[in-house]
Structure 1
Amino acid sequence: MPNHTYAAVNDCITIFDTDEQKFLFISPAIVNILGITASQLRQDHSLWLALIGSEWREEIGATIKNLQVNESVELSYKIHIPGQTAKNIIDKKSLVIDGLSGNKILQSTITEDRQETQENIEESSVFSDLFYKNANPVWITDIETLRFVKVNHTAITNYGYTEQEFLLMTLNDIRSPLEAEKLGSFLQERGRFLLPKGDFSKAGTWKHLSKNGHTIFAEINWYPVKYNNRACVLVEAVDVTTQLGYQEEVKLREQFLSSLIDSQTNFLIRIDINGHFSFANKQFLRIFGYTATELIGQHFSICTIPQELHLCNEAFEQCLSNPGKIVRLVHKKPDINGGIHDTDWEFISIIDDCGTVCEIQGIGQDITNKLKIEKEVKAASEKLNVFIESITDSFFIVDNDWKFVTVNSAFEQMTNTPREEMLGNVLWEVFPEIMDSGFGRAYYEIIEKRQSVKFTEYFELIDKWFSTSVYPSAEGITMYVKDITHERRAQEEANWAKNSLEALINNTHDHIWSVDKEMRYVYMNNAYITETTHLTGVEPKEGAYSYMHKGYTPQIHQEWKIYYQQALDGEQYTIINESIDREKNTPLYFEVSFNPIYTQQGEIIGVGCFARDITQRLKIEQELIDQNERLRNIASLSSHEIRRPVASMMGLISIMDRNNFYNPDNEQIIEHILTVSTEIDDVIRLIVDNTFTGQV
């Protein structure tokens, strides 16, 4: 509450508790304005009203009586003081609530309605006592510069600055930059400190900083004054740091407890000794669909199914009969919509100061989902066991002591060891031979690093390969062991076949290579690499664009790009390609086949190419063509050149006298036969020459 600092000003300030009908404060200036003392007014509250002129008295009394909380009113009236002239009065009143007592407080500031300069407050002896002896920090601040011009001893003690330091500071120097900005905005909104003459003002609570940086919450009251002929403001800073801290602590504690109760996922309820709800938290109301109004005062049976009401009654009777004992109860509760919830509760009775049970408190939770999950987990566990037993891979789990926890039938069969001999026993004792194997090393490695490990191990004793995956967990180690002997040997055979195929491909003189969809080299055999390097002087490299190989002309690059694209479009075909031997400068001919490469889904991903040098074959074929041409010439000579003399010879022989060989006509015929024989001999010689030289 405001204290005697207000007495330092020329206005009359009164603070009246309307509930207890007593003045809490009357400033000494009352005698100068009303002509009565504070003591007189405290003894007789009606003295002030008696001074008011009769024409205003009733109206002013009614206005004050009807004043509402946090409402202010400014009254203008005339008073009559015995032995003095009448005075015009301005009376500003406001009704507030006291934060400590909760009573209604009427605050009044009474001033004379006259224009006059305030007296220099330093000349007031009352001010001197109240300023210097005030238990609260008090200072005077220049309105224009905000500089401290006078401080009392309490301000020096509480804030830690010397008087000289204070007089070099402004109001902003006892504030953080943010608080200084707030002060500037506050003064700008209020028109700085320019309050009406004689007006008292509460400026609210502000955050100050002491010299050592500690925060001080100060409730500010100010009053405009004249000091050293300058417009100033008298400020009282009531330290409310402790009070605010306590209020904040209480507020936070209440907020915490309220938030704790409201945020509980558990149910919190209280039931009186008659079985009626006296409290239920938000979680209980939300889950079961009630409002507090609908539930409070109802018997607990409203939230119990008939079949289990006897369980609730038994628990209720046990709590009443056994104060302080926790009573467990698991039962089904219906919500307002008919849904059923499985719940788990702990009840305990609450006793009063006389030791009598006054209420029963319960904390519970909805375990519907929990039971459902447990059921699902059990079903999943059963399915998992069935799965473990059904998998063909060997499976087992050991705990952190290396003892078998779970094994499946596949592991039993693989090790030829009954699970009864394994479960509960240590892995190394059951199978000591694996201690120094890859199994043993991997198991210790997983314990050390706590990371999964995969490895392949060969057991010479049984001539088998095993693939093992080991996974760590907080409870132990889970292991999958698969017999991969068949796969391993198949892989070895595949590798052998691959190596054999690779050797076969690289031992052939045919050129074999492939390109991907971007026409880059994917694979090349040695024959292709050697021949391409021989023809171009540049060795081809995997990943390079095959149709852009160095050593070929742009025309050849374009031709091969077309060849590859034709195959990538799905066409399988063969071409005869001609190249020039760089060293011999002779033509070379290759038969090249282009074959699209498909995935299993039928997508073309590249082109496989096979090229064979057919230069010698083409040469032989040409020689055969030439020989056939010569044979055709021989046949022509035979059919034309020999037929004529042979026909002549046969005609001469036919006319020869074969009965009389010495017939003179035969001589002439024989001469003709000799001539024809010479012609035949010439033709035969011509044929022979054509056979070997090809020339007629």
Structure 2
Amino acid sequence: MDAKLSFLLDKSNDFFCVMDRKGIIKRTNASFRKAIGYSEAEITGKPISVISHSADIRRHDELLKTLLHKKEVSDYESRLKAIDGIYYNIKWSLVYDSNIDLVYASGINLTNKLNGTDKSLSDSIQHIIQSFNEGFFIIDANWQITAFNPAFQAITGLKTKQLKKINFKELHSLGITDKIMKEFENAFNGNISSQFQYLNNYTKRWLRVNVYPYKNEVMIFVRDITSMKIQQLILALEKNILELNASALYSFPQTINELLKGIEEIYPEMICSVLEADDANERLYHLAAPRLHKEYCDAINGTDIGPKAGSCGTSAYHRSQVIVSNVETDPLWDDFRDIIRPFGLKACWSTPIISANNYKVLATFAVYYTTTREPKPDELQMIERTSNILRVLMENKKNQDHIIDQNKRLQEIATISSHEIRRPVATILGLVNLFDHDYINNSMNKEILAHLDSTAKELDSVIHTIVEKTIFLNSGS
């Protein structure tokens, strides 16, 4: 950095920070360091996330992606946590220099007051509210938002000037339905505190809301509980699927189909599929796909497992997860692009279901999207959990099939023992009774000996068959 520019920035009261594209701090100015209480050596080389409010970290990741694309972002507000625990609310302007792959960020300190015009809150209370992970806002008797903290702003995705004095009923980004609005109105009109949760269909996030009426205002806390809610829904789904699997009401493909339908209800943008591998691990065959077009399922049914066989065939071949964010450009889809294109599917992530004992591929679990995209951490966690339960279900199915096959073979052995052995043994016993012990060399004795020889060979063949079937059972095949 130019020495004169560096000098001016160090003398500035504004915050200044230089980061790489991953948010790793390369340089800060004196105002930045003085406010947060870290020395240059302590803060340099650390990710910006370590001094960010936890509610802002996900937004930082999205910001950096936007910045790499647009090169400039202004009026971005976030909070920094000082070494003493105090939070500073900063409005940032950021520029990305692609030539040197660095981000320049200049920030104005907005901290002192909670956003809004409410004068009744003390400075200490304002600071506490400002540091909350939960969103907080106040509504007056006319449903105007009079004050809010940065966490609420992060939940709405709106800028400060957009939120100030906005009518709550016009705040579309909270996804307020008539049913949810009734909850607010009951609390307001009845002066009754309440708690409820709902799915914000605008952002596809679960929110938990606590409403506290006070005089002619309502104080509201909003928490994003998406992660917790999804875990609860997945646990309930897994419990239901295990119960279905233990009953005789559903066939195995139907059980897998119900599992995928449940996942698609939790993650509405996902389109799920399971392809089962044949015993030779050479081909994949359709098992379940509730929302995929039948024509597409038929087209890929029996697809080869190979190093360049779309997402599923490739993941089965390499025995590892394959993430294709854009099927139009990824070379793995060169041979399948014309097949998938008519159905509007843009991304496909595939995970192999591998046997716990012998590292054999049992199936592949695929997630399709109608937009080009990469998975988020919570989606990867869901995929891993689903892969594990699929492994349990499929190995259980194979064990059941193996037990059925063993029982069938045991029945065959019992049939052979009761019928096939009894016949030659009875013949031998009958021939022995006909043997003339007084005249050893008569012609009938010779015929009896010949019959005994052939019957003994027949018995030996039956015993050999039993031994083979027993060996097969002992091998665990």
TM-score by length of 1: 0.21
Pick the structure with greater CA Rg.
1
